Amino acid sequence: MNGQDNGDAARRVYDVIAKHHSARLPAPHLDDYRRVCAEFSWEQARGMLSGLPGGGLNIAHEAVDRHATGARAERVALRWLGRTGLRRTLTYRELRDDTNRFANALRALGVQPGERVFVLAGRVLELYVAVLGAFKAGAVVCPLFSAFGPEPLATRMSLGDARVLVTTQTLYARKVGALRERLPGLRHVILLGEDNAPSRVAGTHDWATLLADQSSDFDIVPTSADTLALLHFTSGTTGQPKGALHAHGAVLTHHVTGHYVLDLHDEDVFWCTADPGWVTGMSYGIIAPLSNGVTNVVVEAEFDAQSWYGVLQDEAVSVWYTAPTAIRMMMKLGREALAAYRMPRLRFMASVGEPLNPEAVVWGMEAFGMPFHDNWWQTETGGIMIGNFAAQDVKPGSMGRPIPGVEAAIVKRTADGALEIVTMPGVEGELALKRGWPSLMRDYLNEHARYEKCFAGEWYLSGDLARRDADGYFWFVGRADDVIKSAGHLIGPFEVESALMEHPAVAEAGVIGKPDPMAGEVVKAFVALKAGFEASEELRKQLLGHARNRLGAAVAPREIAFRDNLPKTRSGKIMRRLLRARELGLPEGDLSTLESDER
């Protein structure tokens, strides 16, 4: 059978997956899209939060303390499944006590409100305690991905002026220890020992020892909706990673999207598969489910389709938030593998990270009896902005419609710098969002000019190209820049090129995203060598190892190709767009700026 025909047939059958409203229990929160959108206001939604007792707002109070003193005190807040089969739970009350201990520990160390606490660990409960405890102490939390190599870690901790780092003994030994000299501002490193043994490493604190004598009472530092709470690094086309700053007020977006998009209800068991080293794992693996007071499942092990099905069944997960790469790997395994599992509680499945292909949305219907609901947002937006909803028709391949309280549009930037709103359906342009939702980034760290460039008047410009259809559904078209999206992670080509350029053999490097059936894109590097170096398989492996040592598996290239010369503009800028077009066999486009061509 011809694959193209097959795809077309699938699309014909499933233009729309219609939702029938009658027999849904519990009743979806977003039952009537138009009515809820018309009636919604952020001011009114603020009533879904409780606020600090003395006024003000703190994420940890909304996510932990208000439940710990109420009817949910003895409910399991975090249910942790360890790699070796171990299980641990923390109730909301226990989570309040532990986060208070950590907040007290930070205070005892002299950490001031506004100082940065970085976390670098796999999915262990202490990471969740550290994040929430740091919010209580008024610190700004910055998550790091544990698969980063030393270079991305050093860059981010240095740019972010890390004062405290919470990590594991193993990660410290492997990646961080050697960086200490480069990080003079990093005053305290707190280590989680292996297998519950205390860590004994010079120049660091042991987590358990540090917390042991701390009181489980703590008065949350009086933060407001505008007090900075989170620093998330994200990648751009050029230069260093951008540090998007978010304030405590963002918790309102997390709560509201947990309510309306993930459709969280009081009795739900929720599982977000994203790692808390990235923004999805922070916003939806920690904050949104806890703010909504549900039981949040944390799985330490890496992806494996069959053990994931085991988690869905055994933990009776009712709402599941996952990612396209994982879904495509499950598709590859085939739905027969699901036959042995029963998941009667599973009610809603969502996906984010990169556009979910229509076949994967439809596969959800065949395999789980419900579609995957794709949604769209960015580090900068802080929370879900556009989504497919539980009780609303799904158009496979579409990112859905704006959430209540968010206005989205397709815009074009005109030659004179003004903005033109595209009203005609189906026309491609840049996806823009009107300011006014609470989790929009407050700044890029130390780069206010770069931040200003993201806005035109009232509109935040996403850098994503999209179109809107006549029913108001948005469809992703592509990125307006060269940023690479691999397995849901944003990768800046500049960071990869810089690491390659550090190798003595490399004269020039150009890095692109190459389409990949599993990961969406994989990182491919084109390299030109300095005089005196010969391209060889041996050197290719050397460069690959060099890049992986510095960047880590998640960021390093999967492929390296040698060239005698890379295409450049007159000013010497490598034309990644052209490398990519040629790699993909696409039209080369405007070549007027090309000065020195690829050889």
Partner 1 sequence: MNEQQIRAMVADALAGIAPEVDLDTAGADQDLRQALDLDSMDFLNLVIALSQRTGRAVPEADYPRLFTLAGMAAYFAH
Q: How many angstroms separate the CA atoms of 98 and 100, rounded?
A: 5
**46 in contact with partner 1 (CB under 8 A):** no
Q: Which part of the chain contacts partner 1 (CB under 8 A), choosing from 15-23, 49-57, 229-237, 296-304?
A: 296-304
Question: Closest separation between CB of residue 554 and partner 1, Å?
Answer: 6
Q: How many angstroms separate the CA atoms of 509 and 54, rounded?
A: 55
Q: How many angstroms separate the CA atoms of 530 and 504, rounded?
A: 8
Q: Select the residue interacting with partner 1 from 431, 440, 519, 574 (CB under 8 A).
A: 519
Which of residues 126 and 263 has its CB atom nearest to partner 1 in the complex?
A: 126
Q: Which part of the chain contacts partner 1 (CB under 8 A), choosing from 18-26, 299-307, 577-585, 588-596?
A: 299-307
- Tokens matching residue 333: 């395994």
Site for partner 1, residues 384 to 413, rule: CB under 8 A = none
Which of residues 143 and 160 has its CB atom nearest to partner 1 in the complex?
A: 143
Q: Which of 428, 411, 301, 320 is nearest to 364 (CA)?
A: 320
What are the two backbone dihedrals, phi and then psi, of residue 482, each rounded to the nearest 5 degrees?
Answer: -100, 10
Q: How many angstroms separate the CA atoms of 228 and 138, rounded?
A: 8
Which of residues 200 and 541 has its CB atom nearest to partner 1 in the complex?
A: 541
Which SS3 state, helix, strand or coil, does residue 375 take?
strand
Which contacts qualify for 391-394: CB closer than 8 Å, 24 or more apart?
Answer: 391/19, 391/21, 391/24, 391/28, 391/30, 391/31, 392/19, 392/30, 392/33, 393/16, 393/17, 393/18, 393/19, 394/16, 394/17, 394/19, 394/361
Query: 526-552 in b/e burial notation, b at 16+ Cβ within 10 A?
Result: bbbbeeebebeeebeeebbebbbebbb
Which of residues 44 and 549 has its CB atom nearest to partner 1 in the complex?
A: 549
Classify residue 181 by its DSSP letter: G
**293 in contact with partner 1 (CB under 8 A):** no
**267 in contact with partner 1 (CB under 8 A):** no
Which of residues 68 and 555 has its CB atom nearest to partner 1 in the complex?
A: 555
Amino acid at 69: T
**515 in contact with partner 1 (CB under 8 A):** no
**311 in contact with partner 1 (CB under 8 A):** no
**503 in contact with partner 1 (CB under 8 A):** no
How far does CA 370 lie from the centroid of its chain?
Answer: 24
Question: Closest separation between CB of residue 122 and partner 1, Å?
Answer: 9
**544 in contact with partner 1 (CB under 8 A):** yes
Q: Which of 432, 481, 474 is nearest to 456 (CA)?
A: 432
**520 in contact with partner 1 (CB under 8 A):** no
- Strand-pairing partners, residue 419, are 413
Site for partner 1, residues 171 to 200, rule: CB under 8 A = 174
Do the Cβ atoms of 541 and 558 come closer than 8 Å?
Answer: no
Question: Closest separation between CB of residue 69 and partner 1, Å?
Answer: 39
**549 in contact with partner 1 (CB under 8 A):** yes
Which of residues 328 and 568 has its CB atom nearest to partner 1 in the complex?
A: 328
Amino acid at 510: G
Q: Which part of the chain contacts partner 1 (CB under 8 A), choosing from 20-28, 157-165, 264-272, 539-547?
A: 539-547
Size of the site for partner 1 (CB under 8 A): 31
Which of residues 418 and 553 has its CB atom nearest to partner 1 in the complex?
A: 553
Maximum distance among all Cα pairs of the chain, rounded to whole angstroms: 73
Question: Closest separation between CB of residue 252 and partner 1, Å?
Answer: 34
Residues in the chain: 599
**337 in contact with partner 1 (CB under 8 A):** yes
Q: Select the residue interacting with partner 1 from 238, 545, 573, 586 (CB under 8 A).
A: 545
Q: Treating both helix axes as pointing N-terminal to C-terminal, what angle do 537-551 and 150-159 enclose, rounded to 10 degrees?
A: 40
Handedness of CA 319, 325, 328, 333 (dihedral sign): negative
**147 in contact with partner 1 (CB under 8 A):** yes
Q: How many angstroms separate the CA atoms of 339 and 331, rounded?
A: 14
Q: Which part of the chain contacts partner 1 (CB under 8 A), choosing from 123-131, 207-215, 548-556, 563-571?
A: 548-556
- Strand-pairing partners, residue 527, are 509, 562
**562 in contact with partner 1 (CB under 8 A):** no
**548 in contact with partner 1 (CB under 8 A):** yes
Which of residues 135 and 172 has its CB atom nearest to partner 1 in the complex?
A: 172
Q: Select the residue interacting with partner 1 from 438, 492, 552, 567 (CB under 8 A).
A: 552
Q: How many angstroms separate the CA atoms of 496 and 127, rounded?
A: 28
Which of residues 369 and 545 has its CB atom nearest to partner 1 in the complex?
A: 545
Q: Select the residue interacting with partner 1 from 168, 280, 325, 498 (CB under 8 A).
A: 325
Which of residues 465 and 518 has its CB atom nearest to partner 1 in the complex?
A: 518
Which of residues 66 and 546 has its CB atom nearest to partner 1 in the complex?
A: 546
**361 in contact with partner 1 (CB under 8 A):** no
Q: Select the residue interacting with partner 1 from 132, 527, 554, 579 (CB under 8 A).
A: 554
Q: Which part of the chain contacts partner 1 (CB under 8 A), choosing from 131-139, 183-191, 371-379, 542-550?
A: 542-550
Q: How many angstroms separate the CA atoms of 290 and 93, rounded?
A: 12
Q: Select the residue interacting with partner 1 from 158, 237, 307, 569 (CB under 8 A).
A: 307
Q: In this structure, are strands 269-272 and 295-299 parallel, antiparallel, or unpaired?
A: parallel
SS3 for 273-327 is CCCCCCHHHHHHHHHHHHHCCCEEEEECCCCCHHHHHHHHHHCCCCEEEECHHHH
Question: Closest separation between CB of residue 405 and partner 1, Å?
Answer: 35
| Look-up of token digits 């809603």 | 348
Question: Closest separation between CB of residue 325 and partner 1, Å?
Answer: 8
**514 in contact with partner 1 (CB under 8 A):** no
**10 in contact with partner 1 (CB under 8 A):** no
- The residues that touch partner 1, with contacts defined as CB under 8 A, are 83, 147, 174, 302-307, 325, 329, 332-334, 337, 486-487, 518-519, 522, 541-542, 544-546, 548-549, 552-554, 558
